Structure 1
Amino acid sequence: MAQRSLPPTDREDEDELRDESLSLWRIAFSPIIWAAHFLLCYAGAAIWCARVGPTQGTAFLRLSVLALTLIALGLIGWVGWRALQQWRPEASTADRLHHPENRHHFLGHAAVLLSLISVVGVIYVALPALFIGTCQ
């Protein structure tokens, strides 16, 4: 006997719309954090070296880049963890993963992958701080 599906209520529609819009934002969060990290590290280093001088204060510059990197990695990790929870829901709804038309899970998968790419990008942006001898 086939089950009839009831039309969604307004509350269910609002919840679904909220989840979908959050999923779309979740895709963008990690690359935005990566871009902000890039901007803060390189612009901050340029301003610091122009103000302080070419040979002074590189230890502070390295610590600043390290702190920004740890903050960025923590934020990207949090976004990636939330996206992973969206992509791999609890066992009772695991059968929904096999439906390619399920956008919600696809968006979670995309956000996880973008978070991984952003982690690699943040690490590469921070690598020059290891080799800074002077600002010259």
Structure 2
Amino acid sequence: MPKVTRYDAPRVIDSGSIWILVAAPTIWAVHFLLSYWVAAVYCAKSGSGWLGGLTDPRWIIVGLGGLSIAAIVWLGMIAVRRYGGVFVVLEEITDSSEQGRERFIGHVALLLCALSAVAIVFTVIPGLVFDRC
């Protein structure tokens, strides 16, 4: 078995890898769970139920949202640079070559990044609108 150096080791999100497709929705799911967990724990621990305010965890949720969107933008940049993803919705990608498959992965990854960023924004909105537990 050949020795693998740190330069020979494959990257998790590398050419031909489909991890880029699940990374952005996973970031959204983790943000969703953490946001509602923070709000639920804060409202349960405040002891005042419906009278308790959400002003303290609101900024935690917004901060988590900002970090999550920054991570998704980084993944979108990877989808564009490494896979050649383009943000065109009505384009058919029918090329069955290796380059066509790479471009399709980049296209789908970029669309999933956009969808996940919108989902994060919609997850943050209730925390900004509602001020009571």
Pairwise TM-score range, normalised by the shorter structure: 0.7 to 0.9
The structure whose Rg is larger is: 1
Q: Secondary structure in 2 aligned to 1:61?
A: helix
Structure 2, unpaired ranges of 5+: 1-8, 86-92
Aligned partner (choices 82, 91, 96) of residue 78 of structure 2:
82
Distance 2:109 2:58 in 1: 30
Superposition TM-score, scaled by structure 2 size: 0.74
The aligned counterpart of 2:16 is 20
Question: What is the aligned-residue RMSD (CA, Å)?
Answer: 2.2
* Superposition pairs of residues 1-136 of structure 1, within 5 angstroms: 19-21=15-17, 24-53=18-47, 54=49, 55-56=51-52, 58-88=54-84, 99-101=95-97, 102-135=100-133
Superposition TM-score, scaled by structure 1 size: 0.73
Q: Among the aligned pairs, what percent are the same residue? A: 32
Q: Secondary structure in 1 aligned to 2:109?
A: helix
Question: How far 1:123 moved relative to its partner?
Answer: 0.5
Deviations 1:76-98 (A, max 9, x none): 11001110113438xxxxxxx88
Distance 2:94 2:45 in 1: 57
Distance 2:82 2:16 in 1: 11
